[in-house]
Every structure is written in C-alpha cells, then in structure tokens.
C-alpha cells in the first residue's frame, strides 16, 4: 500500500493547496497522517480530518466533504465521509494486479529496500559472560539483536554482527579460585560449561561462609591482569569451552557472528583513549576515581577508572566504539541490552560526544525488558536459571511427540523438530513488545495451539503443500479475475509487508513482524477454508488462487527470516 499512499498524498496535497496554500504540509507529512481502518468496511485507507481543522480553519466534516469531492486518483474505487473521517476504498483490481504482481516478481526480495546500500551497521548483541550459562535471560538480546541485523540487511545495509563477550572481570578470579580448590580437569573436559557453572555457584555458597574467598578472587584477577602465565592459560581455556558451547545454541538459532571480540580485546587500546580524555580535559578526580562530570546533562558522573587505576565498563565500551569506527567506518552501531543499562549507555554516549566525535549521535541503545522465570528473578549464582539448550531440548522433544502422533513418516523429522521447537520459543519471546518485562512461563512457551510459532510454520507448510500438488498446472497464462472479499482481505494484508518492515526498522521492534505474521496467517487460513483452490470451478479462478497462495508463501518466508525462524515446507 506504500505506492497507493504516496499517490494519494500527492493528490491530497493538490486539494489542500486549493483550500489553503499556506497549510505547510508536504506529501511526506500527509502520508504519515493516513491510517488503516481496523475494519475494512470503513475503507482501505482513512484520513482523520481533525488533524487538519486548525491549519485549514474549517470543521473536519467540511474538510472531508471538500476533499471527497475533489480528490482524484486512478486507484480509488470510492470515497465516503463519516463524521470528519475520509474513508477511501481502493479498487479491487489494484490488489489483484499490482500487489499480486509485485510479490510474484519480487519473490524473496519483496518487502526489501535499498536505502542502506553502501552503508555499514555494527550490531552488538547476545554477549554472554564467559564461563556462565547461556540461559533464557540471554534470549532477548540474542533474538532481538539478530532480528535487527536481518532487518537492516533487508534494507540493503552491510551488517557486522559482534558478540561482545564478557570475558574479563573479577568473576574470572572467582572461577580460578574455585577451580584450584575444587575443580577437576577431566570432569570439565567431559561436562564443559556445566561444570564451570557448578564451580561458580559453589564459590558463592562457600564465600558466604568464608568471605576471605572474595579477597583471594580479587588477587587472582589481579594476577590475570598482570598476565600471570598460569591464570592466562586457565582463562583462555574457560573461554574456549564457553564459546564451543554457545555456538551449539547459535547453530540451533541459525545465527553466526562476524566477531567474538570481547572486553579483553580492548585492554591494550584503553590507555590511549583515557589519555585522549585527559588531553581534552574531560577527566576529573573524585574520591580517587577518574570520572567525567555529566551534571550539566542531568546524569551522574561517568566512572572511567577506579581508585587503583583499573578500568570500568564505560572505558571499555568507549574504546570499543572508537575501534569499530576505525575498523568498519559504520553508519551506526546498535547495542541490544536490557533496559537496566540505559543510563550506562546514555552516559558513555555523551562522553564520546564530549570527546568531539560527531558520530556519537549514531550510537543507538536498544533496551528490552527483564525476564523472570515463572515469576522468579534469574540469578546464576543461586542456580535459578533455565539453560537455553534445556529449554530448546524440551520444545524439540514436544514437537517430536506431536510428529510421531500426526505424521510418523515425515522425512528429516529431527531437523524439522529443531526448526519448529526452537521457532516456538523465539516466536513466543518476539511476540512481546521488546521493552516490556516478560514472565517466561514454560507452559505458555511450549503451548503449540493458538497464535504461536508452530501455527505460523504450519500455515507456511500449508502453502507449500498446495503448490506442490499444483506443480503440473500451467499458470503462465494471463487471467482475468474479479476477487472476492476473502481474497481482497489477504491481498490487502500482504500489501502491508514493506511498511511493516519499515516500522520494525524505525522502531527497532521485531514484534511488529511477529504480529504481522499472525495477521497473514489468519487471512490466509480464512481464504483457504472459504475458497476452493485446486478444486476451483474454472481455470482462471484456480490459477489466480494458486498465485495468491504462492504470494503468501513468499511473504511468510521473508517475514520468518526477519525473526530468526526457519521456513518449514513440511511438518
């Protein structure tokens, strides 16, 4: 519908110019005022004329009647005015010819854009802390971040996915102490990260009884910072074990990263950055610590160095941003973390700006809500977490049980069970607005009925099944066909995909795509149940409906790829 809105905006501007030439609205602003009515009986596109009343010095009713009498557009079937609303009905032929043709011509590229061509976006997401479990608390940053990467790629950007691993800090001192006291190399080699997590949890339980363990942990990390050979060896071993485990989960999600440079990578780059801050008179000493005063910007001081001279998170993040600008010459950097870090990002973004870097305005923090598990806060040190691999395994097993019951002869069942099971978890998470806190209820996540990922994937499989049965039918001929209400409703929804992509991009909100997928599924299944496809009465109807089914397949497939869901041709 983007094309129709653009055409209507041009015609509307002409009419508004004739009413009051100084209205000050360009075509873009007029287009933004156009709405999609919740009920198609109220038109395909609506203009609430209340927004124009003050500018044009006329009542909304008078404005709507004036526009209705003068607006001309080849795509308009009719216009109705209702209490100051201008309800525009688009010709059915536009949907059956223009929309359907655009989708079938575009195929896998339908809904994409090229305004990002020649520009690079760096996306910093997932970023688990090494030697800690990859649990559902990491699901948000991982799937939101990767979805935003796919959305930017769909708009033509070159994207660099960075997994900024938490591979530095006192927790490694704790783990080294725990390993030296209770660890066993053979057990860790057998159990991998699970054993590292067990050691980490045990350390905190023991430290409650013996607080001197915390002092020992700080001492071991200090040795690590000074490149103690044995501690460096252990540290690298812990990292290798962790990444190997994380990559198994990323493979299930079909995610690959371009860089695994974590916090430690920037250790040798921080001194130059801190010296630059000093040269630019940004650093002040506050109770022995080095800070950047941000009181003028209504924020607390940004802590750069501790009293002992060791660096803090802002110093590392600033160093990383400068390195990424030099390395990738990015258009922007997108950081996906929980909302609790919003102040942290606002502070160091401001410091980069104060350092004189104009591109600081292109640093974007995308926050998301916290996750609780069945109403309880997640905490690694107490063991109150559920690992993603266990969550995925539960979903996959449930899918296998359903497949055994409904389709025991399905080929490649294991592969399809992964696609549907993991897809169910991802879809459940991304169905929520990202900024909202989520109480992750396992029963709901693994409920495959209703508006769920499996329902969407089953709908996609249904389109594939219909098209497979129609392989021998020649659809090359031009058909002339007057569409019915169900067909128009589906085409109207399919036509909205490019706008949904733009909305998801502009708002950094993957749930826009998830909710849109459900709209497509609802309209397609309504069409499928009410309209004979292969059993249609005449060839023109059959060919048109097969084309419409194929168009639905492309749109669903394209939308799936934007939210980390795999296409399932058979379930």
Q: What are phi and psi of 291, to 5 degrees?
A: -135, 165
Tokens of residue 87, six digits = 């309800």
Q: How far is CA 413 from CA 122, 166, 279, 400, 406, in A?
A: 36, 36, 62, 7, 12
Half-sphere exposure of 166 (CA within 13 A, CB side): 18
Contact (CB, 8 A) for 54 and 47: no
pLDDT value of position 376: 65
SS3 category, 392: helix
pLDDT value of position 385: 66
Tokens of residue 204, six digits = 């905190």
Tokens of residue 411, six digits = 């080929």
Model pLDDT for residues 14-68, shown as the tens digit of each residue:
998 888 877 778 889 989 999 999 888 889 999 999 888 888 888 999 999 999 9
pLDDT value of position 364: 98
Mean pLDDT of 117-128: 96
State the pLDDT confidence band at 460, using cuts at 50, 70 and 90: very high
Query: What string of DSSP letters covers 501-564?
Result: HHHHHHHT-THHHHHHHHHHHHHHHHHHHHS-STT-SSHHHHHHHHHHHHHHHHHHHHHHHHTT
* pLDDT: which is higher, 226 or 120: 120
- How far apart (Å, rounded) are the C-alpha atoms in residues 1 and 27? 15
Contact (CB, 8 A) for 203 and 221: no
Nearest to 164 by CA among 128, 120, 132: 128
Nearest to 130 by CA among 168, 87, 77: 168
SS3 category, 33: helix
β-partners of residue 366 are 336
Query: What string of DSSP letters covers 443-499?
Result: HHHT--SSSSHHHHHHHHHHHHHHHHHTTTS---S-------HHHHHHHHHHHTHHH
Per-state percent for the chain, helix, strand, coil, to nearest 5: 60, 10, 30
Model pLDDT for residues 378-390, shown as the tens digit of each residue:
555 555 567 888 8
pLDDT value of position 119: 98
Instruction: List the alpha helices (DSSP H) in 157-192.
Output: 170-182, 185-191
Among 11-20, 82-91, 375-384, 494-503, name the most confident range: 494-503
Nearest to 8 by CA among 92, 79, 112: 79
pLDDT value of position 478: 67
Mean pLDDT of 459-483: 88
Residue linked to tokens 């006192």:
170
Model pLDDT for residues 400-421, shown as the tens digit of each residue:
888 888 888 888 888 899 999 9
SS3 category, 338: strand
Mean pLDDT of 87-110: 94
Q: Report the sign of the C-alpha dihedral through residues 129, 143, 416, 373, in that order.
A: positive
- Is pLDDT of 84 > 70? yes
Q: How far is CA 524 from CA 127, 200, 261, 470, 527, in A?
A: 38, 50, 44, 17, 5
Mean pLDDT of 504-520: 97
Tokens of residue 448, six digits = 């495959």
Percent of the chain predicted with pLDDT > 70: 97
pLDDT value of position 371: 80
- Is pLDDT of 479 > 90? no
Model pLDDT for residues 319-355, shown as the tens digit of each residue:
999 999 999 999 999 999 999 999 999 999 999 999 9
pLDDT value of position 158: 98
Mean pLDDT of 419-431: 92
- The mean pLDDT value of the chain amounts to 91
Strands (E), 127-214: 158-162
Among 63-72, 116-125, 382-391, name the most confident range: 116-125
Mean pLDDT of 452-465: 94
Burial class (CB in 10 A: 0-12, 13-18, 19+), 423: buried
Please report the domains of the chain, with CATH numbers, ordered by start residue: 2-90 (3.30.1360.70), 120-266+314-382 (3.40.50.620)
Nearest to 85 by CA among 18, 35, 12: 35
State the pLDDT confidence band at 360, using cuts at 50, 70 and 90: very high
Tokens of residue 493, six digits = 């929804």
Q: Report the sign of the C-alpha dihedral through residues 515, 513, 108, 395, in that order.
A: negative
pLDDT value of position 541: 92
pLDDT value of position 374: 67
pLDDT value of position 466: 96
Contact (CB, 8 A) for 138 and 429: no
Model pLDDT for residues 193-230, shown as the tens digit of each residue:
889 989 998 999 999 999 999 999 989 988 988 889 99
- Is pLDDT of 101 > 80? yes
β-partners of residue 373 are 376, 440
pLDDT value of position 61: 93
SS3 category, 255: coil
Q: What are phi and psi of 335, to 5 degrees?
A: -110, 120
- How far apart (Å, rounded) are the C-alpha atoms in residues 413 and 418? 9
Length of the chain measured in residues? 571
């Amino acid at each position: 519908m983007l094309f129709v809105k653009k055409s209507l905006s041009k015609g509307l501007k002409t009419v508004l110019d004739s009413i009051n030439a100084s209205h000050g609205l360009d075509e873009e602003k007029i287009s933004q005022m156009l709405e999609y009515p919740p009920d198609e009986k109220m038109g395909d596109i609506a203009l609430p004329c209340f927004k124009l009343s003050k500018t044009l010095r006329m009542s909304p009713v008078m404005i709507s009647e004036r526009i209705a009498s003068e607006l001309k557009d080849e795509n308009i079937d009719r216009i109705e005015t209702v209490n100051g609303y201008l309800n525009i009905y688009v010709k059915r032929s536009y949907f059956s010819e223009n929309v359907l043709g655009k989708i079938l011509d575009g195929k896998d590229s339908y809904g994409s854009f090229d305004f990002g061509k020649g520009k690079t976006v760096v996306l910093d997401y997932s970023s688990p802390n090494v030697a800690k479990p990859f649990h559902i608390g990491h699901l948000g940053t991982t799937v939101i971040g990767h979805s935003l990467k796919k959305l930017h790629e769909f708009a033509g950007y070159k994207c660099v996915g960075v997994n900024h691993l938490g591979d530095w800090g006192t927790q490694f001192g704790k783990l080294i102490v725990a390993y030296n006291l209770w660890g066993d190399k053979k057990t860790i080699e057998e159990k991998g990260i699970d054993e590292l997590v067990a050691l980490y949890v045990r350390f905190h339980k023991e430290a409650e009884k013996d607080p001197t363990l915390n002092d020992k942990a700080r001492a071991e990390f200090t040795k690590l910072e000074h490149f103690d050979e044995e501690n460096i060896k252990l540290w690298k071993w812990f990292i290798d074990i962790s990444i190997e485990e994380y990559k198994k989960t990323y493979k299930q999600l079909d995610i690959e990263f371009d860089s695994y440079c974590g916090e430690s990578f920037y250790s040798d780059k921080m001194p130059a950055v801190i010296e630059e801050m000093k040269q630019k008179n940004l650093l002040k000493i506050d109770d022995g610590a080095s800070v950047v005063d941000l009181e003028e910007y209504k924020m607390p001081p940004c802590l750069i160095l501790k009293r002992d001279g060791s660096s803090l998170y802002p110093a590392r993040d600033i160093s990383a941003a400068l390195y990424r600008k030099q390395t990738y010459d990015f258009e922007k950097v997108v950081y996906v973390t929980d909302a609790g870090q919003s102040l942290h990002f606002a502070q160091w973004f401001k410091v980069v700006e104060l350092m004189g870097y104009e591109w600081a305005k292109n640093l974007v923090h995308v926050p998301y809500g916290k996750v609780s598990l069945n109403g309880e806060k997640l905490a690694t040190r107490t063991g109150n977490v559920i690992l993603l691999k266990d969550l995925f395994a539960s979903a996959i097993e449930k899918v296998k049980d359903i497949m055994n019951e409904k389709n025991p002869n399905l080929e490649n069942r294991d592969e399809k069970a992964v696609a549907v099971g993991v897809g169910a978890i991802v879809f459940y998470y991304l169905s929520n607005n990202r900024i909202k806190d989520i109480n992750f209820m396992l029963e709901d996540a693994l409920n495959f009925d209703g508006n769920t990922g499996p329902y969407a994937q089953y709908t996609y499989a249904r389109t594939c099944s219909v098209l497979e049965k129609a392989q021998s039918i020649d659809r090359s001929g031009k058909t002339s066909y007057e569409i019915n209400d169900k067909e128009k409703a589906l085409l109207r929804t399919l036509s909205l995909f490019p706008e949904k992509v733009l909305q998801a991009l502009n708002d950094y909100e993957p749930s826009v795509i998830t909710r849109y997928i459900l709209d497509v599924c609802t309209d397609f299944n309504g069409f499928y149940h009410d309209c004979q496809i292969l059993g249609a009465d005449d060839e023109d109807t059959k060919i048109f409906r097969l084309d419409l089914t194929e168009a639905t397949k492309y749109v669903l497939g394209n939308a799936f790829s934007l939210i980390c869901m795999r296409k399932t041709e058979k379930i």
